[in-house]
């Protein structure tokens, strides 16, 4: 471009020189001088136009480059729903991803909801019922891209484990998540086995999963429904502790295959999806690779969980990850299974999914 511009400028200069020579040959006169001046002005104007034209594509290219390199802003929750993103996070920091990412981890659901709602996050890994709630709250402002976490809950006991869910009658069960996924999952499984959750068992809710770690100190006969990695911590720290029931297996037994326990997913802001469909497709490819690596290279992923503060210790993460229900389920399979799961949540309490079941456009 510079060579072309220089050639045009030199041509303009030569044209001015030739006009001046022609004027000189014809003799010095006012009309000839005026013509020379006009030619000079015309050449100068052409030079300015060429220069301006040369700058415009560069400016457009810079703008396009800035848009292409703007990082996709990903929020992940601390805990199992964030494990699938660990290898993507590491690759992003190493500069080996196809596109740039800006990843934020938080332990608070409210922060993720706020970030998605006000446009600070483009994609987020959150609980599935929270995704449905966000869809309703934002009037279709989010889409679910893929399910990333199946069941992460287990019922633990000390000593001899009950033989069946029906044997939990008369027992005390400590559990987290009142008014959230864990409560509705527990109620669904109990009811499906002929128990009244409000009469046949005594459910004691705690504020956070970490509070379950001290339950057996005061109530050694209690049962504990714990998520990962808390469940693994309890089994490691308490002699005689056993996993009595895997809640994913129990859910599947009750549902008869009509739904699958799907606790975590990744969602995208609808506006971002419409503006940057290619970026979303690249993310899904790289995120699926990240989840696959978490499933196949547990040791490396566990170390990343500690490095990024997702799980306190790599040794704990390494034991917990195989029980964290890591998955990547998308498309029609996701839609069919997740719709069934959200229906169960809605039947238990409409507020659990934001007051209404999501419409067809919720599913990417």
**pLDDT at residue 270 is higher than 70:** yes
What DSSP line would sit under 55-92, residue for residue?
Answer: HHHHHHHHHHHHHHHSPEEEEEESSHHHHTTHHHHHHH
Q: Please write the tens of the pLDDT for every residue from 6-26.
A: 333 333 333 333 333 333 333
**What is the pLDDT, as a whole number, of residue 49?**
42
Q: Tens digit of pLDDT for each residue in 59-109?
A: 444 334 444 568 999 999 888 889 999 999 999 999 999 999 999 999 888
Q: CATH classification of 156-252 is 3.40.30.10, yes or no? A: no
Q: Above 60 in pLDDT, residue 214?
A: yes
Using a pLDDT cut of 90, give the percent of the chain over it: 69
Q: What is the pLDDT of residue 28?
A: 34
pLDDT at 246 over 60: yes
User: Got the DSSP string for 199-268?
Assistant: TTSEEEE-SSGGGGGGHHHH-TT-EEEEETTHHHHHHHHSTTEEEEEEHHHHHHHHHTTS-----EEEEE
Whether 156-252 and 75-150+262-362 are alike in CATH topology: the answer is yes
pLDDT band, very low/low/confident/very high, at 116 (cuts 50, 70, 90): very high
Q: What is the pLDDT of residues 140-189, one digit of tens each?
A: 999 999 999 999 999 999 988 899 999 999 999 999 988 888 999 999 99
Q: Quick one: pLDDT at residue 202?
A: 96
Let me know the angle formed at the C-alpha of 201 by 198 and 205, rounded to the nearest 5 degrees: 75
Residue 219 clears pLDDT 80, i.e. is over it: yes
What are the domain boundaries of the chain?
Answer: 2-68, 75-150+262-362, 156-252
| Token representation of residue 4 | 């072309």
Query: To 10 degrees, what angle do helices 30-69 and 2-26 make?
Result: 170
Residue 2 has pLDDT above 70, yes or no: no
Q: What pLDDT, on the 0 to 100 scale, is given for residue 152?
A: 92
State residue 69's pLDDT score: 62
- Mean pLDDT for the chain overall: 83
Residue 70 token pair:
């703007």
pLDDT in tens, 34-59: 434 444 444 444 444 444 444 444 44
Count, residues in the chain: 364
Of the two residues 256 and 120, the one the predictor is more confident about is 120
Q: What pLDDT sits at residue 32?
A: 39
Cα three-residue angle 151-155-158, rounded to 5 degrees: 150
75-150+262-362 belongs to which CATH class?
A: alpha beta
C-alpha to C-alpha distance for 120 and 302, rounded to whole angstroms:
28
- pLDDT score, position 297: 97
Pairing state of beta strands 72-77 and 264-269? unpaired
- pLDDT band for position 277 (50/70/90)? very high
Indicate the range of 66-70, 96-100, 196-200, 215-219 predicted with least confidence: 66-70
């Amino acid at each position: 471009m510079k060579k072309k511009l220089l050639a045009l400028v030199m041509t303009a200069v030569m044209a001015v020189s030739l006009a001046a020579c022609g004027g000189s040959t014809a003799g010095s006169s006012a009309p000839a001088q005026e013509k020379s001046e006009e030619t000079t002005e015309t050449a100068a104007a052409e030079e300015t136009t060429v220069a301006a034209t040369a700058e415009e594509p560069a400016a457009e290219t810079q703008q396009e480059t800035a848009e292409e390199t703007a990082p996709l802003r990903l929020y992940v929750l601390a805990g199992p729903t964030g494990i699938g993103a660990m290898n993507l996070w590491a690759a992003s920091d190493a500069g080996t991803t196809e596109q740039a990412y800006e990843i934020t981890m938080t332990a608070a659901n409210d922060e993720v909801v706020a970030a998605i709602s006000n446009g600070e996050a483009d994609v987020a890994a959150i609980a599935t019922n929270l995704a449905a709630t966000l869809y309703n709250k934002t009037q279709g402002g989010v889409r679910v891209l893929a399910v990333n976490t199946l069941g992460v809950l287990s019922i633990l006991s000390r000593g001899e484990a009950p033989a069946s869910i029906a044997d939990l009658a008369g027992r005390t069960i400590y559990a987290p998540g009142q008014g959230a996924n864990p409560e509705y999952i527990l109620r669904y499984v109990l009811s499906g086995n002929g128990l009244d959750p409000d009469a046949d068992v005594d459910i004691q809710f705690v504020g956070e999963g970490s509070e379950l770690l001290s339950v057996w100190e005061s109530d050694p006969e209690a049962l504990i429904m714990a998520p990962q990695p808390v469940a693994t911590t309890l089994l490691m720290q308490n002699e005689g502790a056993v996993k009595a029931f895997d809640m994913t297996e129990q859910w599947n037994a009750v549902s008869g295959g009509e739904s699958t326990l799907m606790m975590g997913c990744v969602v995208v802001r609808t506006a971002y999806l419409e503006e940057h469909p290619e970026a979303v497709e690249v993310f899904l490819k790289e995120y699926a690779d990240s989840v696959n690596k978490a499933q196949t290279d547990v040791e490396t992923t566990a170390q990343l969980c500690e490095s990024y503060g997702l799980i306190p210790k790599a040794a704990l993460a390494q034991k917990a990850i195989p029980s964290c229900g890591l998955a990547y389920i998308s498309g029609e399979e996701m839609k069919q299974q997740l719709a069934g799961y959200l229906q169960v949540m809605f039947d238990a309490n409409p507020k659990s999914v934001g007051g209404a079941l999501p419409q067809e456009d919720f599913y990417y």
